[in-house]
Structure 1
Amino acid sequence: MCTRQWAAARKLTVVLATLVLLMAGCGADPSARVWAASVCKALTPWRTTIATLTSSTEQQMRAQTTPAQAQENLVRLFAGAEQASETARSRVADAGVPDVEQGEEISAAFVAALAGMRDAYGKARRTIDELDTGDDEAFYAGVDTAVQVLNAEYDASGLDTGGLNSEELQEAFDEVPECR
């Protein structure tokens, strides 16, 4: 083999080795700070959306509307909350697993909590959508029940961090600008 061929072979070997190293680095779990920043980027618009929708729902519940108008508005509001929760859940899942002790469990708990919230909103949306709007009293009683169930399911799906304590993540959530 001539010198030029050896040089080309060595160059190809170096390129392949570099690619292997780069690809191995892509599969690494994100640091606590990177993961916390990603999670906060996912949760900030979700919290804003949920706060806006909650306020709108409260206003809707106090407003003098027909059952059909209330049903349409509430279904739209809960569909928005369901979609916002799914978007946040998907983005948190995409953040990966933080490179900390119990990282798998912590990531799974965040994703599961958001899935539970999404499902609670979806159930409330379906329940209200199925209510008969022909009887005002029965309709509003059904809405009240649906909202009570939503609140209970929402609370039950909340993130329980009691057994998932990571000082490294707590510091990261306190320090990264995306979480402020």
Structure 2
Amino acid sequence: MRPARPLALLMLLALAAPLGACAGSHDARAWASQVCRTLAPWRTEISSLTTRTQQQMTTRTTPGQAKENLMTLFGGARDASEKARAGVAEAGDPDVTDGKQIADGFVASLATMRDAYGRARTGIGALAITPAESFYDQVAKVVAQLNQDYQAGSLDTSDLKSTELQQAFDEVPECR
């Protein structure tokens, strides 16, 4: 059996990139504050799931154990992303130029991330655990696709077209 250590590094890379993003009722500051309060637990949950999976995957595990661990990770990340998406949707639209478009973009990004995790969970679930070498090669492909899907929907407040929202995200304590 091949050690799962490279798999842990792939998982960390797949989940670490979006953790730096911050986003989230009506005036710019209030909306940003609410979105950031919504996204903080999401980021924490994704980070926690990543850490736990990395710890589990750095020890020698069977393909069956690795499959179970990854399905738990991706299912948890999918559920956390849906909770964050719903919370951001509840924030409504900021009262800024193109506020509805901006809010819709945040919601869509989180839906894309939720769906990416769901597809990764389904992909891992469909893998045969024997032979082990083939299993780990296929896991790497699922994780590579997750990275690609995730990047397509990643949240980035640095490119907002609203100066008011950029300033709000930079200033409200919940976003720091």
What's the CA shift for 1:62? 3.0
Q: Tell me the equivalent position of 1:159.
A: 155
From 87, 97, 112, the equivalent of 2:83 is: 87
CA RMSD of aligned residues (A): 1.6
- The percentage of aligned residue pairs carrying the same residue is 56
Q: Tell me the equivalent position of 2:167.
A: 171
CA deviation profile, 1:76-100 (whole Å, cap 9, x unmatched): 0110000010000000000000000
What's the CA shift for 1:138? 1.3
Q: 1:168 to 1:95 in 2, by over 3 A?
A: same
The equivalences for 1:6-155 within 5 A come to: 30-155=26-151
| Deviating 4+ runs (over 6 angstroms) | none
User: What letter matches 1:120 in structure 2?
Assistant: A
Q: Is the 8 A contact 1:37 1:179 kept in 2?
A: yes
Question: How many residues end up aligned between the 2 structures?
Answer: 152
Instruction: Measure, in 1, the Cα distance between the counterparts of 2:159 and 2:98.
Output: 10
Q: Is the 8 A contact 1:67 1:139 kept in 2?
A: yes
Instruction: Measure, in 2, the Cα distance between the counterparts of 1:135 and 1:60.
Output: 20
What's the CA shift for 1:30? 1.2
Instruction: Measure, in 2, the Cα distance between the counterparts of 1:160 and 1:95.
Output: 18
SS at match of 1:98: coil
Query: Mind listing any 5+ residue stretches in structure 2 that lack a counterpart?
Result: 1-24
Q: Is the 8 A contact 1:102 1:164 kept in 2?
A: no
Instruction: Measure, in 2, the Cα distance between the counterparts of 1:160 and 1:74.
Output: 26
TM-score with structure 2 setting the length: 0.80
CA deviation profile, 1:93-131 (whole Å, cap 9, x unmatched): 000000000101100110011111111111000100111
Higher relative contact order, chain-length normalized (CA < 8 Å, sep 6+): 2
Instruction: Measure, in 1, the Cα distance between the counterparts of 2:144 and 2:51.
Output: 16
Q: Which structure has the larger Rg over C-alpha atoms?
A: 1
